[in-house]
A and B are shown apart, each in its own frame.
Chain A
């Protein structure tokens, strides 16, 4: 267990010192939130209606933006190769990296999102559902992002490829996430049902991401 905690602790330390993860993601989040009202117009009622969806989109894009930093640095400086020589299987290393990414990037944004939603005149009654749904979904987002990051590590134009490949995987999370936060949408059922489906997505990602990600990393290290 100490090997995994060492990986997570090191990633957290690096994120703090380099300031790459949380800062940039939060900055991107704010950029999206500022540009949307400027583009759509100051109609407050309209903004309130689109606020949950916009926050979700901003969350997804910001997580995507920081995803290529999950494995790229370790792949570039050779740490990934040495990690395969450790007592921990590669699957758990993928899980540990996803956990570190979640702690640094997805979790802070999921917590900050409802409050930043005030910029879009988000109704305060939606704070708790939105926060809860984002907290849950951010786990799935980080896991899936680390899976696709493992697939595209070391590739040129990897960032673009990462976006194309992650998009289909994020669609269910987005659909049910918005349903869980906004509620009363024609697209899906009630809020608790959507939350349960989000939980199912998280569990599915928890199973698929380590194995597929490790297989992809092994193929790259070949």
Chain B
């Protein structure tokens, strides 16, 4: 980890890995979409609309994973003062926010035919919406503070405090009787889904993960470039 503290080394790594990452993402999506849209069987109750699950559920997983990624990067930034850690957290936030929005939107589209309503304020939906607000608040902090060093510190604190929300989301369905179906994959006792449905779901999950990693690496590179640009501008101002 320390050897990638140097941005130049990290940039070289990203340049090396990026085409492969995109290739893996595209392949996984191709397999996953084929399995979800063609191979997976219809649900006896919902018909074809159950296929939204293959887009909705992995998006929700990545939304949570992105926040975990952000929180770990923030912790590393605070404890180890790793110079790229706060950039990694900053880069992950908009991506995570987009995945959260995707999960909420696709869930809403799924909810209308299945539950008869676009939105309901049950525990799972509420906490996912709150997660979306956490992302927005985190992004807002970065924009509100001018000094990048100070912004990094404050944003790291905000990310860690928001971490409390994650277990509440995960276990909320267990704590409350809600409309949203209880956990079927990540639970003690193993998944309850039939392999015909589980396999496409897991492949799509892997595809989303590959997409997140690829986007994240690209975004970190963009942040490093932006930081370099700012330093060059500061140096230019000092010359005059």
Contact = CB atoms under 8 A, between A and B. Distances in A.
Interface of A: 147, 151-152, 155-158, 161, 164-165, 167-169, 171-172, 175, 186-188, 204, 208, 212, 215-216, 219-220, 222
B136 interface: yes
A152 B137 CA distance: 11
B161 to A, nearest CB: 5
Contacts of B165: 168
A168 B127 CA distance: 9
A106 to B, nearest CB: 20
Interface of B: 78, 123, 126-127, 130-131, 133-134, 136-137, 140-141, 144-145, 149-150, 153-154, 157-158, 160-162, 164-165, 168, 175-177
Contacts of A147: 161
A212 B136 CA distance: 19
A151 B168 contact: no
A222 B176 CA distance: 44
Contacts, number: 66
A212 B133 contact: no
Nearest to B145: A155
A209 to B, nearest CB: 9
A161 B144 contact: yes
A156 B146 CA distance: 10
A212 B176 contact: no
A167 B126 CA distance: 12
B154 A216 contact: yes
A156 B145 CA distance: 9
Contacts of B136: 164
B130 A151 contact: no
A59 to B, nearest CB: 19
A3 B149 CA distance: 32
B137 A220 contact: no
Nearest to A204: B164
B133 A164 contact: yes
A212 B161 contact: yes
A158 B141 CA distance: 10
Contact of B140 (A161, A187, A212): A161
Contacts of A164: 133, 136-137, 140
Contact of B130 (A168, A188, A212): A168
A42 B169 CA distance: 37
20 contacts: A147-B161, A151-B158, A152-B144, A155-B145, A161-B137, A164-B133, A165-B137, A167-B130, A168-B130, A168-B137, A169-B161, A169-B164, A186-B177, A187-B176, A204-B164, A212-B157, A216-B154, A219-B150, A219-B157, A220-B154
A168 B160 contact: no
B144 A222 contact: no
A151 B177 contact: no
B126 A171 contact: yes
B153 A222 contact: yes
B130 A222 contact: no
Given A161-B141, A208-B164, 16 more contacts: A151-B141, A156-B144, A157-B144, A161-B137, A164-B133, A164-B140, A165-B137, A167-B133, A168-B162, A168-B165, A187-B123, A216-B154, A216-B157, A220-B150, A220-B154, A222-B150
